[in-house]
Amino acid sequence: MTYRDAGVDIDAGNELVERIKPLVKRSFRPEVMGGLGGFGALFDLSGKYREPVLVSGTDGVGTKLKLAQQLGRHDTIGIDLVAMCVNDVLVQGAEPLFFLDYFATGKLDVDTTVAVIGGIARGCELSGCALIGGETAEMPDMYGPGEYDLAGFCVAAVEKSRLLDGAKVRAGDVLVGIASSGPHSNGYSLVRRIYDRAGRPGDIDVGGVKLADALMAPTTLYVKPILELLQAHDLHGMAHITGGGLTENIIRVIPDGLGLQIDASAWTLPPVFDWLQREGAVENSEMWRTFNCGIGFVLVVAPDQLAAVQADLARLQLTHWQIGEVVTATGGERVRIG
């Protein structure tokens, strides 16, 4: 018997590597040493930072993968993977340096895998983050036909003196919410349940786009504009709105003794979320703690810096709203949305 008889095609794996090499190379930075194919990836950090603090993160895209496979849309799910990782490390003021991915499937379909990894490479390129390695695992009997799984790993760096850890946050600071592109990559177990119960109406219109397009819109990459913003402004904190929604993510960067008052009337619920809430009969409280509800990233800004920050956000073409403020915590409830 051969390895191919057992369900693993080494030749297909080799073909995949050759096809993704030019895609991956476009994401390289000057600090990358060597190319693909080694046992370890090399990155030269010397000369760039005086007191570098490394920030690492890992994530996946949850069951949005199931919807991507169901719809046959494999070219942007990799952008989601990168965004979930780089947006997380960005919260501490860190610049994403390099990225590694893990792709696992039952039987390797080279075209599908190239599309997925091409999206990962594109996400890295758009974030200024080098895709310097990864793993493709073909595991018969672990995944059904057409199924695959993804995970991503990111390393970033920030000068120790510029690290954002929430220590500067004060009562009276303003919350500035930056628009998301849609549900991003969170809440898709509920999204898929609602979508299936509605009869999978992917072609219906929601706010001028097809529902399937709205649900599969890749997660916004905030890295480059926010890093530029950080060069000009002393922000007090930032939050990436992922699982847990607005209710549970912003408070993670707020010191004990302080809370949040969020004004739900400050922005309009985007059409895709309106459809999900209406079709699924989802309570407001469940919406707030499951979805980003149109806010993908939040800045905590000193009141005297607000006008300047908002002006630069407009220049960077980031749609944003003043969505609330930091308050002194009273009682056991630290987050109020109303």
Q: Model confidence over 162-193: pLDDT tens digits?
A: 999 999 999 999 999 999 999 999 999 999 99
At the topology level of CATH, where does 174-337 sit? Phosphoribosyl-aminoimidazole Synthetase; Chain A, domain 2 (3.90.650)
Residue 325 host element (H or E)? strand 320-328
Identify whether the C-beta of residue 93 lies closer than 8 Å to the C-beta of residue 163.
yes
pLDDT band of residue 37 (cuts 50, 70, 90) is: low
- How many CA atoms are closer than 13 Å to the CA of 111, on its beta-carbon side? 3
pLDDT at 242 over 90: yes
Q: In residues, how long is the chain?
A: 338
pLDDT at 203 over 90: yes
pTM of the model: 0.93
Which residues have C-beta within 8 Å of that of residue 23, sequence separation ≥ 6?
114, 117, 118, 121, 122
Alpha helices in 105-164 (DSSP H): 110-127
Q: Which CATH class is domain 10-162?
A: alpha beta
**Which of 6-15, 84-93, 320-329 has the lowest average pLDDT?**
6-15
Q: What mean pLDDT do residues 314-335 have? A: 93
Segments making up each domain of the chain, as ranges: 10-162, 174-337
Q: Give yes or no on whether 10-162 and 174-337 have one common fold.
A: no
